[in-house]
């Protein structure tokens, strides 16, 4: 028997089977990490690359070295049809000129800090007030606007992309040289997992998160998406969207998602907090123990059957209902992103934590390792 011909025949069977077994009628591509594809240059001429992670089920995530941005995330619906469930642009230019943090890795401090000011060890630090009168998502040039060094690889869980960045002492007003690593993993069971670690040579504050805009239907408004949030309290805000320091029970409010509820069911209620946020733009106090991986939220979309579970080790979850999308952005495939066309689910520490002693600390000391694990898990029903 000619063993080489037999091996070739077996390989042909495997590749032919891939198209029907894993790709569900879509064009079949083998699982793995596709090497760096040029994706333009920044305004200062720095090259940007796009990496593609793909698993054996055909699920695909494309990640940029600019901002650690998840540019595309394709998952199947209940009929096996793949669709992109994150908002963004087809080219780099949009991300450089007009992006509300689409898909980005957020740091050095995710969310808002009141008046851009905090005190650490008796020393006051002033940050940019880029979301006047507050600081938002790390400042004018946060981690979402820098180019990261990339290393593709493989782990026991799936294909990986490791991104690293060294944030220097004083960058955007933050103290300490911070070495950051973010590992993206596309798992065999259709989750995109992000593991953040960081070290510092000086006391500093750190709060990293992920800012994808999700639409599980692929387009249209998200009012019919059904949401469960594992939380009995949230942190109210003032009219500048800064937390007041209160941990308020969700009982009897539009913020109670302990029973799965559509986003549109209560978003239009005459509620002061909803008026401040123009909808949901708040932090929920997650009920599982901080530092332990647990379920934060579950989102389901009835027409496609897609389900997204959000798991993390973080104490809070910022749920944002796309309130500032206004039809001025033309995104991927020529889609115009309208009011409430997407949601963000951002596991993190609470907003403005450095200014509230009753909130879990965001201080990182030399010799310690910051660690944050987030997983977006996709399935269908």
Interval 123-176: pLDDT, tens: 999 999 999 999 999 999 999 999 999 999 999 999 999 999 999 999 999 999
H/E stretch holding 300 reads strand 294-300
**Do 102 and 87 touch, CB atoms closer than 8 A?**
yes
How does pLDDT run across 80-134, given as a tens digit for each residue?
999 999 999 999 999 999 999 999 999 999 999 999 999 999 999 999 999 999 9
State both tokens at 141.
Answer: 């040039």
H/E stretch holding 18 reads helix 3-21
The Cα–Cα gap between 28 and 97 comes to: 34
pLDDT at 31: 73
Name the phi and psi angles at 19, rounded to 5: -65, -35
114-118 long-range contacts (CB < 8 A, ≥24 apart) are 114/240, 114/242, 114/352, 114/355, 116/173, 117/355, 118/205, 118/354, 118/355
346 is catalytic: yes
Which of the four pLDDT bands, split at 50, 70 and 90, describes residue 1? very low
The Cα–Cα gap between 35 and 50 comes to: 8
The Cα–Cα gap between 3 and 22 comes to: 27
pLDDT (mean) for 200-215: 98
Could you tell me how far CA 52 lies from the centroid of its own chain?
Answer: 17
How does pLDDT run across 28-78, given as a tens digit for each residue?
567 777 778 999 999 999 999 999 999 999 999 999 999 999 999 999 999
Catalytic residue from among 137, 172, 346, 349: 346
Catalytic residue from among 137, 171, 172, 211: 211
The helix/strand/coil state of 340 is coil
Which of the four pLDDT bands, split at 50, 70 and 90, describes residue 277? very high
Q: Is the pLDDT of residue 228 over 80?
A: yes
Mean pLDDT score of the chain: 93
For 4, residues 6+ apart whose C-beta sits below 8 A from its C-beta are: none
**Cα–Cα nearest to 235, from 356, 120, 128:** 356
**DSSP assignment, residue 327?**
S
26 is catalytic: no
Torsion angle (degrees, nearest 10) of CA 309, 273, 242, 283? -20
How does pLDDT run across 314-334, given as a tens digit for each residue?
999 999 999 999 999 999 999
The Cα–Cα gap between 224 and 236 comes to: 24
How does pLDDT run across 297-316, given as a tens digit for each residue?
999 999 999 999 999 999 99
Residues above pLDDT 70, as percent of the chain: 92
Q: Is the pLDDT of residue 208 over 80?
A: yes
Structural domains of the chain ordered from first start: 28-380 (2.70.98.10)
Residue 197: is it exposed, middle or buried by C-beta count within 10 angstroms (0-12/13-18/19+)? middle
């Amino acid at each position: 028997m000619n063993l080489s011909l037999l091996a070739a025949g077996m390989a042909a069977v495997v590749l032919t089977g891939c198209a029907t077994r894993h790709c569900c009628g879509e064009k079949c591509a083998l699982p793995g990490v596709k090497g760096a594809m040029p994706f333009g240059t920044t305004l200062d001429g720095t090259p940007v690359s796009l990496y593609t992670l793909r698993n054996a089920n055909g699920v695909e995530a494309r990640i940029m070295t600019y901002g650690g941005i998840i540019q595309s995330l394709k998952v199947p619906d209940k009929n096996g049809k793949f669709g992109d469930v994150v908002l963004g642009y087809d080219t780099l230019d949009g991300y450089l000129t007009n992006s509300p943090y689409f898909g980005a890795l957020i740091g050095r401090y995710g969310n808002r800090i009141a008046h851009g000011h905090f005190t650490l060890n008796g020393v006051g630090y002033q940050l940019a007030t880029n979301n006047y009168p507050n600081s938002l998502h790390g400042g004018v040039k946060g981690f979402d606007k820098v180019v990261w060094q990339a290393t593709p690889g493989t782990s026991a869980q799936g294909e990986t992309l490791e991104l690293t960045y060294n944030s220097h002492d004083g960058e955007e007003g933050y103290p300490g040289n911070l070495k950051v690593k973010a590992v993206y993993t596309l798992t065999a069971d259709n989750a995109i997992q992000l593991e953040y670690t960081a070290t510092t040579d000086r006391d500093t504050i750190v709060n990293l998160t992920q800012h994808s805009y999700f639409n599980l239907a692929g387009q249209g408004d998200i009012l019919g998406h059904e949401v469960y949030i594992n939380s009995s309290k949230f942190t109210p805000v003032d009219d500048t969207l800064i937390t007041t320091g209160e941990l308020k029970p969700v009982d009897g409010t539009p913020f109670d998602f302990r029973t799965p509820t559509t986003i549109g069911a209560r978003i239009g209620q005459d509620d002061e907090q909803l008026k401040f946020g123009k909808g949901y733009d708040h932090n929920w106090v997650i009920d599982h123990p901080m530092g332990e991986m647990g379920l934060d939220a579950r989102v389901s979309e009835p027409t496609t059957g897609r389900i997204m579970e959000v798991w993390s080790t973080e104490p809070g979850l910022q749920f944002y209902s796309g309130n500032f999308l206004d039809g001025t952005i033309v995104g991927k495939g020529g889609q115009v992103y309208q009011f409430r066309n997407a949601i963000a689910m951002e596991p993190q520490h609470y907003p403005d934590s450095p200014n509230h002693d009753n909130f879990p600390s965001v201080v990182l000391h030399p010799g310690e390792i910051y660690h944050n694990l987030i997983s977006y898990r996709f399935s269908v029903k």
